[in-house]
Chain A
């Protein structure tokens, strides 16, 4: 079974600074997808960024980028120029490209606090 581990229960960052959230996963699959979701206090899960395992290039979405290390099974999220609105719970998620279809496996989450 696939597992996703986020080893940082809480992180904090100063506004305008950079922070990196860690995620490791375990799988024997070769075809899979990785995601970072953000859950603010409203509880609405928002997709931040996604990475296809077959792509070597790290995904980037504006101030958000990932460091995908396939051999190490590591998938970290870097938030640059942090803003107060980035404060939320962040979840790393895994989805196989095979017959698990719509099943996402989530990590336990990291609470990010942004200080003004």
Chain B
């Protein structure tokens, strides 16, 4: 079974721009969660989607948004990028039992 894939793997953007990251879950998984990892704040939960609905959200500003498609693929969008948005963005998928999460390789976003 193929693992979780994320595209792109690396991204460099300028402050004020917007960015869209993509995550394809393991086949059959309907839950996709997103996390931001920074040296200062560690791993923080952004949001989770299940069957195209956001069912949990972390404590991030409205500039961070996401969506999920009918094939369970998910995208997250960050608008009006700030320098502090530079981070590794990880997505994870889980199956029906919703206990274990399986992570993708991450997207490294650098904002200059």
Describe B's contact surface by its main secondary structure: strand
CA distance A99 to B56 in the complex (A): 8
**Interchain CB contact under 8 A, A102 and B58:** no
CA distance A46 to B101 in the complex (A): 9
CA distance A46 to B104 in the complex (A): 9
Whether A54 is near chain B, meaning CB under 8 Å from some CB there, is: no
CA distance A35 to B33 in the complex (A): 16
> Which residues of chain A have a CB within 8 Å of any CB of chain B?
33, 35, 37, 42-47, 50, 52, 91, 95, 99-109
Number of inter-chain CB pairs below 8 Å: 60
Chain A residues closer than 8 Å to B108, beta-carbon distance:
43
* CB closest residue in chain A, given B31: A102
Contact of B56 among A37, A45, A100 (CB under 8 A): A100
Chain B residues closer than 8 Å to A106, beta-carbon distance:
42-43
Chain B residues closer than 8 Å to A47, beta-carbon distance:
100-102
CA distance A20 to B67 in the complex (A): 40
* CB closest residue in chain A, given B45: A103
Whether B24 is near chain A, meaning CB under 8 Å from some CB there, is: no
Describe A's contact surface by its main secondary structure: loop
> 20 A-B contacts, Cβ less than 8 Å apart?
A33-B99, A44-B103, A44-B106, A45-B103, A46-B103, A47-B102, A50-B99, A91-B43, A101-B48, A101-B50, A101-B55, A102-B55, A102-B92, A102-B94, A102-B101, A103-B33, A103-B48, A104-B45, A106-B43, A109-B42
CA distance A35 to B99 in the complex (A): 10
CA distance A44 to B105 in the complex (A): 5
The 7 A-B pairs at the shortest CB distance, nearest first, are namely: A45-B103, A102-B48, A106-B43, A102-B33, A103-B45, A102-B31, A101-B56
Whether B90 is near chain A, meaning CB under 8 Å from some CB there, is: yes
Chain A residues closer than 8 Å to B100, beta-carbon distance:
35, 47, 50
